[in-house]
Structure 1
Amino acid sequence: MTSRPARAPGGLAAYQARVVAEKRRAILDAAAAAFLQSGYDGTTLEAVARRAGVSTGTLFKRFPTKAALFEAIMERIWEAGPDAPASPLASTLPVREALRGIGRDYARLLRAPGVEGLFRVIVAEVNRFPELGRALYERGKKPYLDRLHVQLQAAAADGAVSIADIPLAARQLLGMINDLIFWPRLLVKDLPVTDEDVARVVDEAVETFLARYGRSA
């Protein structure tokens, strides 16, 4: 009896998974381009399907609504950025280094590819689609504020800082970073911001913060 050749382990499954991933990537790339070109309200799922080269059935199966599609695009940006734990723990590093680490992570998120353009879409459409703004805050800025709250509470307990209003102080620190790294690029297309610029902005923000709140930092 002739034996059949052995199938490569996971060969078919791996191929199918690769096809699914490629279609998803094509859909999200096409959707991002469509949202940037036509805005949130002006983009249709049918137009995205044509641009991606897939059937409308394939797109609707994966993303039944425009909101789900836009959320998936933003999710891809969050995934490409640094990890922000859901339940952040205070770092054991000295407060200066811990704050620099959070600031650099936040800056990397703000510089993720395509983030400025999609933020422009959200800003333009937030009055009609407030869920976009809520999702942006919950997945974008809030995790870093949460990390700062925990870190600053621990630093205050150790006597390294003296802060009467920790939520306000956390916003002040992130504000010093995004005011120089993100907002100019949101308003001026293709404005260059180098890694050296980012390091200097974060370091100076932390030093300014500690000059105001630090004790033994």
Structure 2
Amino acid sequence: MQMQRTNQVMTTLPPSSGELNAKALTVLRAARHVFLTHGFSAATTDMIQREAGVSKSTVYAHYANKEALFTAVIEAECAAFTNTVHGIEFRPGKLRETLTMLARAYLDIVLSPSGLAVFRVVIAEGPRFPKLARTFYLAGPQVMTTMVAEQLANAAASGEVDLGEIGRETAASLFINLVRGEPQLQCLTHPDAAPSSAQIDQWANAAVVTFMRAYGRREEASSKRSRS
């Protein structure tokens, strides 16, 4: 695996956070950095207050407690993910290219320092925040599965794939797991390194090739159908 050293969690917040007033946004940014760096349990409101450079009363004026801050941070991350993937442009009739584009975009998100940090903290705190963990799933993997399923439905109608009896939702879930599984595991277990762009391309391509070999119809067969 081609890896590059990294030891930093990005501290930007999604555009949706712009709806907050300046003080609340400052606190949310600080909370994001503290939670993604230290986790929920080790984080304290004092740490967030110092990171934000505001008074404790300012923190509590916008967020009732640490749990409320944590919920706001994860919800903002989910919104950022959804905004990013919905901006992807698709190419009808070009399933292989579309899946490659989706795989690359998804890996760029989930393998980023912040993407990995969010995953770690949500999984670690899932038993304490089950609804929030579910929200994270619905806004992340489920969004991608739905997008891929829509593309597979179009591809099946045009003869690009044969999904047999498994259906588009199951096929889409299998594809997403092909994309995310090994790359995410490697990055989670190599916390001091980051994959190179070439490595991400290789992972994305491997997932697409494997999926298309399993479900893709031969191009010449598709061409004959389109001419008949």
| AA of the residue aligned to 2:80 | E
Please list, as runs of the form range in 1=range in 2, the aligned pairs for 1:83-102 lying within 5 A after superposition.
83-85=84-86, 91-102=91-102
Q: What is the aligned residue count?
A: 198
Aligned residue for 1:205? 207
SS in 2 for 1:83: helix
* Equivalent residues of 1:27, 1:59 under 8 A apart: yes
* Equivalent residues of 1:77, 1:115 under 8 A apart: no
Q: CA deviation at 1:85?
A: 2.9
* Equivalent residues of 1:63, 1:69 under 8 A apart: yes
Q: Does residue 1:191 correspond to 2:193, yes or no? A: yes
Aligned residue for 2:80? 79
- Give 5+ residue unaligned stretches, structure 1: 1-16
Aligned residue for 1:5? none
Mapped to 2, the partners of 1:216 and 1:69 lie a distance apart of: 52
Mapped to 2, the partners of 1:101 and 1:24 lie a distance apart of: 36
Structure 1's consecutive aligned runs of 4 or more residues displaced over 6 angstroms after TM superposition are none
Deviates more, 1:59-68 or 1:49-58: 59-68
Q: Kindly tell me: are residues 91 and 24 of structure 1, through their superposed partners in 2, closer, same or farther at Cα, counting changes over 3 Å?
A: farther
Deviation per CA, 1:40-98: give whole Å up to 9, x if none: 24434344223321123322333334344234433247527862339x99741411111
SS in 1 for 2:84: coil
Q: Kindly tell me: are residues 124 and 141 of structure 1, through their superposed partners in 2, closer, same or farther at Cα, counting changes over 3 Å?
A: same
TM-score, scaled to structure 1: 0.77
* Equivalent in 160, 167, 170 of residue 172 of structure 2: 170
Deviation per CA, 1:156-184: give whole Å up to 9, x if none: 11111111222221122111221232121
Mapped to 2, the partners of 1:194 and 1:210 lie a distance apart of: 25
Please list, as runs of the form range in 1=range in 2, the aligned pairs for 1:109-124 lying within 5 A after superposition.
109-124=109-124
| AA of the residue aligned to 2:186 | P
Aligned residue for 1:40? 40
SS in 2 for 1:182: helix
TM-score, scaled to structure 2: 0.73
Mapped to 2, the partners of 1:179 and 1:105 lie a distance apart of: 15
| AA of the residue aligned to 2:169 | P
* Equivalent residues of 1:89, 1:151 under 8 A apart: no
Deviates more, 1:205-214 or 1:166-175: 166-175
* Equivalent residues of 1:89, 1:150 under 8 A apart: no
Mapped to 1, the partners of 2:172 and 2:213 lie a distance apart of: 14
* Equivalent residues of 1:91, 1:98 under 8 A apart: yes
Deviation per CA, 1:72-128: give whole Å up to 9, x if none: 433247527862339x99741411111111111211211333221232121111112
Mapped to 1, the partners of 2:186 and 2:40 lie a distance apart of: 23
| AA of the residue aligned to 2:40 | Y
Q: Percent identity?
A: 28
Q: Kindly tell me: are residues 56 and 191 of structure 1, through their superposed partners in 2, closer, same or farther at Cα, counting changes over 3 Å?
A: same
- Give the structure, 1 or 2, with the largest relative contact order (CA under 8 Å, sep 6 or more): 2
Mapped to 2, the partners of 1:147 and 1:125 lie a distance apart of: 27
- Give 5+ residue unaligned stretches, structure 2: 1-17, 220-228
SS in 2 for 1:192: strand
Mapped to 2, the partners of 1:55 and 1:46 lie a distance apart of: 9
